[in-house]
Every structure is written in structure tokens, then in C-alpha cells.
Amino acid sequence: MLGVWLLGFAAVFARAAELRPTPAPAQDPTFQLPLVLKSAREYCCRLERAAMDFVCLEEVSETVDPSRDERSTDQLSNIIAMGEARLEGHLGKPLPFNRQGKLERDNDYLFDYQFVRQQGKVTERRLLLEKNGKKVRGGKEPPKTETFQYSDILLAPVRLLDDANAQFYRYRLLREDAVDGVKVWLLEVAPRMAIADVYLGAVIWLAQDDARVLRIDWDPATFGNYENILTRAKKYGLEPRVTSRTEFSTEKNGLRFPSLDLTEEAYIGKDGKKFVRATTRVAYGNYKFFVVETETGVAK
């Protein structure tokens, strides 16, 4: 009798297990990768083919602190030996100087930037409005950044995700995250060939709903001048800590436009103290869109 009761209880328990709802499986990044790449490439295709005409303000600023560089140290020693307390810069104006051996160089540019693409042809125009806080009339001088160069920020996602370049990269989904309430995938893009400044590595933040690019965290080890950074780190006796990211916060007609490109060249000691040698910052604002035409429509 006990055996029959146990068998009946087991049958009821098995039936209850069948009726119990199965928990939804967690999204597997490996499984999701093909779908994410497909969506990302569709977005980049729209970005690459879109007809555009817009203007914005482009603010470029760079700060360089070469106080730990051998050349700067020699310059400062000569100045002290000569009894000088300042350096003469352009136009005869004194540059910052202190006896702790810190000689900073700052450059700031404000441009009126125009981007036009019609029938696949791209035209860029920069009109210099201000340099180091002073207004300039009709200037066409390009920004003279010393440490990190920038170009084609708008189309950076295309170079990393376009199907034509897929053979040169490895792709891996890292995890899910969120930015300002938007669910995103973090997609790692690693070059297959170590050709610096040709194939750049990065982690791309992709919105899960339509794969639009919200942010790119660049791998500085793939930059063209990274060998110089390693050489400086060895000379300083510090570990390099270089960070670089591009943010795409402005949206028009389903496409994202750059808002910030920031790169910091820093070094960390064993005591945890951080020495920032250079910072390059490019900010975009005050967008005025005349045409943003994609396959889905035209915005004016």
C-alpha cells in the first residue's frame, strides 16, 4: 500500500514539474553574434549610403605636458643656467614656466565644420573661427595636434563593421549593458593583422533595438604611435594607461552623429599615482541639418 502511495505521489510530482513554467534562457552572446553583426552592418550600410548636408561647431583642444621628456628637461636646465624665468613663444609672448620642470603646451581651435555627401562624393570644409581664444577671420588653418590625430569620425563605424572589411577582423560579443536607459551590446572588434593605424581595434556599444552605434572605445595598442608610448613608459618607469573613446550622442533620421572624441595619454606608477602627459579632445555641437537622406526617408 505504501508503494502504491509513493508511486502516486511521484506521478503527481512529475505532472507538476511538467506544468511548471520553464525559465527563459539567458541570452547567449555567442548565439547572438551573427544577428548582432547582421543588424550592425545594415545600420552601417544606411550610414555609408546616406546623402548628408550639415554644419556644426568643432572644438579641438590639446594639452601636452612634456616635463618628463628628456628634451624638455634639457631645455629647462639651459633656461635655469642662463638665469631665464620664461620662454618666448610665438609673437613674443611668455609661455608658462615653473621650477618644478613643468612646461605645458595648450592649443585650442574652434571650427565651423561642414560635411556634404551627394552621390557617394564626400566634401568636408573647416573654417577656423577661433585659435587659442582669439577670433580669426577667414582662417583655413587645420588643427595642429601633436599627439593624436583624428579624421572621418562620422564614418568610423563603417570601417570597423562593413562587410567588405570583415576578413580583417575578429568579432566577439562581450556582454549586455545599458546607456541612458538604452539596452546595448558590447561588441569587440580585433584586427587579425597587427598593422598599426591601418586596422584599429575597438569595443563598440550597439543599441539592441536597431544596432545604431552609440559609442566606440578604441584599443590604443592599435594606434600608429603606440610604440612611442611604450618607449616613454619605459623611460618614465611607469605603466601606460591610454584611453580613447568616441561618443555618438546626436541623432537624426535614425543615424547617430559624433558628439565627442577624447583621448588621454597617461602613465601609472607603482604607488598608483597618475601622470597625464597629453589629452586631445574634439567636441561637436550646434548641429544644423539641411539634408539627411537614407533609404527610409529624408529629414530636413
Query: Are 237 and 264 within 8 A, CB to CB?
Result: no
Query: Are 169 and 158 within 8 A, CB to CB?
Result: no
- Whether residue 88 is contained in a domain is answered as no
- Whether residue 76 is contained in a domain is answered as no
Residue the block writes with cell 565627442: 260
pLDDT of residue 144: 79
- Whether residue 276 is contained in a domain is answered as yes
pLDDT of residue 202: 95
- Whether residue 23 is contained in a domain is answered as no
d(CA 92, CA 90): 5
Q: Which residues of the chain have pLDDT under 70?
A: 1-30, 70-103, 138, 194-197, 295-300
pLDDT digits (tens, 9 = 90+) for 34-79: 999 999 999 999 999 999 999 999 999 999 999 988 654 444 444 4
- Whether residue 80 is contained in a domain is answered as no
pLDDT of residue 72: 44
pLDDT of residue 197: 58
pLDDT of residue 118: 86
What is the share, in percent, of the chain residues with pLDDT greater than 90? Answer: 51
Global pTM reads 0.77
CATH of the domain at 145: 2.50.20
pLDDT of residue 241: 95
- Whether residue 55 is contained in a domain is answered as yes
- Whether residue 75 is contained in a domain is answered as no
Instruction: Tell me the residue range of the domain where 55 lies.
Output: 28-65+104-299
Number of domain units in the chain: 1
- Whether residue 264 is contained in a domain is answered as yes
pLDDT, averaged across the chain: 79
